Structure 1
Amino acid sequence: MTAPRTPRPYDAVIIGGGHNGLVAAAYLARAGRSVLVLERLPATGGAAVSTRPFAGVDARLSRYSYLVSLLPPKIVRELDLRFTVRRRAISSYTPVERHERAGGLLVGAGRTRDSFAALTGSDDAHAAWRRFHAMTGRVAERVFPTLTEPLPTREALRARIADDEAWRMLFEEPIGVAIEEHFHDDLVRGVVLTDALIGTFADAHDPSLVQNRCFLYHVIGGGTGDWDVPVGGMGSLTGALADAARSAGAEIATGHEATRIETDGRAAEVTFRTADGEGTIAARYVLVGASPHELAALIGDPAPEPAEGAQLKVNMLLKRLPRLRDRSVDPREAFAGTFHVSEGYGQLAAAYREAAAGRLPSAPPSELYCHSLTDPSILGPDLAARGHHTLTLFGLHTPARLFTADNDTARAALLTATLAELDTHLDEPIADCLALDADGRPCIEAKTPLDLQRDLRLPGGHIFHGDLAFPYATGGTGRWGVETAHANVLLCGAGAVRGGGVSGVPGHNAAMAVLGR
């Protein structure tokens, strides 16, 4: 559509129609502000979309982001969103071979204690697991509600948590220290550590604590740390958000790429281009859902520190779930939660060392889950009736630097090695289970950080737009964590403080910052 021109400035122009931009648009429009969303792509949603990636196949996959934890229920409630999530019956399954016998650790469905006992030979590991997760649960209950409030100071957040040991473990010492203090089994240590590494390239003992920040956001969601399945796929959320924004009066212009922001701190102009040419829109406020790197380029500021993503994203459609070597667990249980592959503590450390040295990990760590076991609505009736299932894989410790010389070759090599690691725990190759598309090709696609940078303009393919920050105020962060050096230009995307993940929190907070003025 052609962006409208009005005789007066919009109250807010929002650059980027991802989920955060749509949250901001809905809140501002519901408050009576005039709002225009400029989206570069042909459709809204950004990384939170459902697509049919395989030719002639009626399966709607959450192509990039795929689980929901950090979305506050208050946003769903306040924006009257027709959107629901479902709990996964199983939290995780981690296969392992010990004493020449295939087994594994199953967490959930009332079988956690027995599974720990079978793995470690005692109840001690399970008791430590319960104590550790009781601690993170208490932190989650106290921290999660603050995400949609003005930023607390470090001291205020510490007082709110009111647990000096938890504060030390999560905010002051590398998370590896706490993991090694609480757990002795290598496999259990690895399962805990993975929450610190999703989308983050770091060692367990990195002194910067970037891994701690990642861990914190992965365990506080919803005040419980649960990661739930979006019914209908992730696109159902962004579809509901677009509907909410439009019904409140916001205008959404797709196929409109913002190319320049000019501001004096009180009024702004946004230049955009379309297939038909260029245009300019006046606004009192500009909210940017794109990354801080994109914002710097748009406004002419110095670029932030380079960002580097570190994940492999693989989508598959299977004609059946694969059989497992561990016959004590049904594949429908194992793949319903997070299926960990090569994610023992020592394996994660080895993969990090190899990648830091410039080599693809020889045993790439990854985790998988099957959306359609919890929510079969993403499959067409015929596929569901024939027992087809989706499978999503997220690989760790694969920084963008490993793909710069030859992305295609490195992608193919990494995918082969990753699937080979998975196959060591299966009773049949995963390739034998892949469905075929209308052209007879296997239904599998892989995305490296450089692919995400190209497709979504994520800087360095970083899914959080850059390293996450602790959710408290530091010098220059501003009252809401969305402020920039320009008074009327705000971040409303994952690069804001308390950004990252599918949360809507930066969109909510940017809207509150505008309405508070």
Structure 2
Amino acid sequence: MRSSYDAVVVGGGHNALVAAAYLARAGRTVLLLERLKEPGGATVSTRPFPGMDADLSRYSYLVSLLPKKIVRDLDLDFRVRTRTVSSYTPTVRDGQPTGLLVGGGEARTRESFARLTGDDREYEAWRDFYALTAQVAARVFPTLTEPLPDKAELRRRVDDDTAWRALFEEPIGKAVESRFADDLVRGVVLTDALIGTFSDAHDPSLRQNRCFLYHVIGGGTGDWNVPVGGMGALTRALTDTARAAGAELRTGHEVTRVETDGRRAEVTYRTEDGEGTVAARHVLVGASPQELAALTGDAPPPPAEGAQLKVNMLLKRLPALRDPAVDPREAFAGTFHIAEGYEELARAYAEAAAGGLPAAPPSEIYCHSLTDPTILGQDLVDRGCHTLTLFGLHTPARLFNDATNDAVRAELMASALAQLDAHLAEPIADCLATDADGRPCVEAKTPLDLERDLRLPGGNIFHGDLSFPYADENTPQGPGRWGVETRHPNIHLCGAGAPRGGGVSGIPGHNAAMAVLEG
């Protein structure tokens, strides 16, 4: 290891790897220091079930926000596949199981809306609303890899007062309630505002609007795609690209302190063999803003709180549905919404805000292996096995602590799976594969688990509340030209907690690298 570098990157998540790859390809000397035994952070694939040849995207699972520009710029060997179905939401109407299927073509979607609601009015409202979000996506997404615009400039780019008011100024609940009448349809729309974000539809802080925005603008279309080979394929591609460009990647190196005079920095790290230091002109931090403050001795930002339950499963077969009109292979290929009617979401939020577990936990489920079977060994494919991922909403970190985490995790997982069972013709437990030790192939991760495993503050998958993609008085760093700057001229934030961060995007890594290269 050299004693001095042009740039030291702290952390080895996908954003940090993007930053390292850009800088190394620009000819800079780069050292990346990662605490864990392998790079990737939350974007890794693992085999959590002993003896089972299944590579699960353990923490993150779909790709929407990763710009094609980054894939092209870095020549990444990485692909995604589109899902044939966007979503399926089961329910019961007039005592009979039914549901809403979105996907499979306009005619199929229109027919499903009519079957659920009795006419075309909700479908027409759906089509109009998502035409509006598509227009915003096409105009906003390209700005995410440009210098950070101010609010007025972004509003000019959007160039639609109705869209701006609905998404950027008024609580998203107002837009949902004014456009849709059916409770189930309202709930399906609102879920994009609540994934990983503990909020009500009418929260005046608009944190739900910011979450909604990032869920509908990805790629300029809002499409959510499946990473071929699992999320670890992205990590491997970025790692290979960064190393091929000359970046040094060191795992098992935990950074403990960063000191700087604004021109030169000294980074202290710890390994199994003791402490070391390395000098750098620039430091890019892929960890959370809280961790950055701890490293530099600055005042920490407000606490962050995650609000999700992640359940990974391996099935020996897909379960049959109570709704006879939908094939399970279609229903689980998209996002399978459970207990996510509009009133159900409001009730679950109120219960959790009062300090209790939701009686009917809302969740979103999908099957990666239906779109991309390469994550399974051929034997599992031949046997008809599939993965299943459940992402629960409205389970804030405040509900968990060291003493109760295991018990609450088990209770919450049982409740979430019971909500799924209510729409199945057979219990999901009967469909679970068993591992080499004879145990059911199912695991759950709470916000506390994510804080322990990945040092996500409060288990927040976004490192904190998402921000609107423009500079304003709330941008912590001032802001700078790219939104990644800090009060230290040669330290940049390249993780998900940067403005325009959150999700699997690589955008903060790109922007931090651009800030360094321009400096």
| Structure 1 residue corresponding to 2:84, chosen from 86, 89, 98 | 89
Query: Deviations 1:149-181 (Å, cap 9, x if unpaired)?
Result: 001110000011000000000000000000001
What does 1:386-425 correspond to in 2, within 5 Å? 386-404=383-401, 406-425=404-423
Query: Deviations 1:231-250 (Å, cap 9, x if unpaired)?
Result: 00000001000000000010
Superposed displacement of residue 478, structure 1:
1.3
Query: Deviations 1:44-70 (Å, cap 9, x if unpaired)?
Result: 000000100000100000000000000
Query: Deviations 1:433-485 (Å, cap 9, x if unpaired)?
Result: 00000000000000000000000000000000000000001131211110111
Number of the residue aligned with 1:102:
97
| Structure 2 residue corresponding to 1:504, chosen from 490, 503, 506 | 506
What does 1:264-283 correspond to in 2, within 5 Å? 264-283=261-280
Q: Tell me, in whole angstroms, the C-alpha distance in 2 between the residues paired with 1:258 and 1:219.
A: 35
Q: Quick one: which amino acid aligns to residue 104 of structure 2?
A: A
Superposed displacement of residue 303, structure 1:
1.3
User: Partner of 1:28: helix, strand, or coil?
Assistant: helix
Q: Quick one: which amino acid aligns to residue 83 of structure 1?
A: F
Q: Quick one: which amino acid aligns to residue 504 of structure 1?
A: G
Superposed displacement of residue 304, structure 1:
1.0
Q: Quick one: which amino acid aligns to residue 505 of structure 2?
A: S
Number of the residue aligned with 1:323:
320
User: Partner of 2:238: helix, strand, or coil?
Assistant: helix
Superposed displacement of residue 108, structure 1:
0.2
What does 1:123-202 correspond to in 2, within 5 Å? 123-202=120-199
Taking only the aligned residue pairs, the percentage that are identical comes to: 76
Number of the residue aligned with 2:5:
10
Superposed displacement of residue 129, structure 1:
0.3
Check whether the contact 1:53–1:61 (CA below 8 A) recurs between aligned residues. yes
Gaps of 5+ in 1: none
Number of the residue aligned with 1:484:
486
Query: Deviations 1:277-330 (Å, cap 9, x if unpaired)?
Result: 110000000000000011111111111101000000000000000000001100
Number of the residue aligned with 1:51:
46
Q: Tell me, in whole angstroms, the C-alpha distance in 1 between the residues paired with 2:417 and 2:77.
A: 37
Number of the residue aligned with 2:35:
40
What does 1:422-501 correspond to in 2, within 5 Å? 422-475=420-473, 476-501=478-503
Q: Tell me, in whole angstroms, the C-alpha distance in 1 between the residues paired with 2:496 and 2:118.
A: 43
Number of the residue aligned with 1:115:
112
User: Partner of 1:502: helix, strand, or coil?
Assistant: coil
Q: Tell me, in whole angstroms, the C-alpha distance in 1 between the residues paired with 2:407 and 2:79.
A: 40
User: Partner of 1:512: helix, strand, or coil?
Assistant: helix
Structure 1 residue runs of 4 or more that deviate by more than 2 Å after TM superposition: none
Superposed displacement of residue 182, structure 1:
0.5
Check whether the contact 1:320–1:388 (CA below 8 A) recurs between aligned residues. yes
Q: Tell me, in whole angstroms, the C-alpha distance in 2 between the residues paired with 1:261 and 1:393.
A: 38
Number of the residue aligned with 2:228:
231
Total equivalences in the alignment: 512
Q: Tell me, in whole angstroms, the C-alpha distance in 1 between the residues paired with 2:467 and 2:479.
A: 10
Q: Tell me, in whole angstroms, the C-alpha distance in 2 between the residues paired with 1:264 and 1:500.
A: 29
Q: Tell me, in whole angstroms, the C-alpha distance in 2 between the residues paired with 1:73 and 1:439.
A: 42
Over the aligned positions, Cα root-mean-square deviation in angstroms equals: 0.5
Q: Tell me, in whole angstroms, the C-alpha distance in 1 between the residues paired with 2:271 and 2:110.
A: 58
Q: Does 1:363 align with 2:360?
A: yes
The answer to which of 404-413 and 294-303 deviates more is 404-413
Q: Tell me, in whole angstroms, the C-alpha distance in 2 between the residues paired with 1:261 and 1:172.
A: 38
Superposed displacement of residue 137, structure 1:
0.1
Query: Deviations 1:92-141 (Å, cap 9, x if unpaired)?
Result: 00000010000000000021000000000000100000000000000000
What does 1:301-320 correspond to in 2, within 5 Å? 301-320=298-317
| Structure 2 residue corresponding to 1:215, chosen from 206, 212, 226 | 212
Query: Deviations 1:203-262 (Å, cap 9, x if unpaired)?
Result: 000000000000000000000000000000000001000000000010000000000000
Superposed displacement of residue 5, structure 1:
2.9
Gaps of 5+ in 2: none
Q: Quick one: which amino acid aligns to residue 339 of structure 1?
A: F
Number of the residue aligned with 2:338:
341
Q: Tell me, in whole angstroms, the C-alpha distance in 2 between the residues paired with 1:406 and 1:64.
A: 22
Q: Tell me, in whole angstroms, the C-alpha distance in 1 between the residues paired with 2:51 and 2:302.
A: 42
Number of the residue aligned with 2:21:
26
User: Partner of 1:481: helix, strand, or coil?
Assistant: coil
| Structure 2 residue corresponding to 1:73, chosen from 55, 59, 68 | 68
Check whether the contact 1:477–1:497 (CA below 8 A) recurs between aligned residues. no
* TM-score of the pair, normalised by structure 2: 0.98
Q: Quick one: which amino acid aligns to residue 460 of structure 1?
A: G
User: Partner of 2:488: helix, strand, or coil?
Assistant: coil
User: Partner of 1:273: helix, strand, or coil?
Assistant: strand
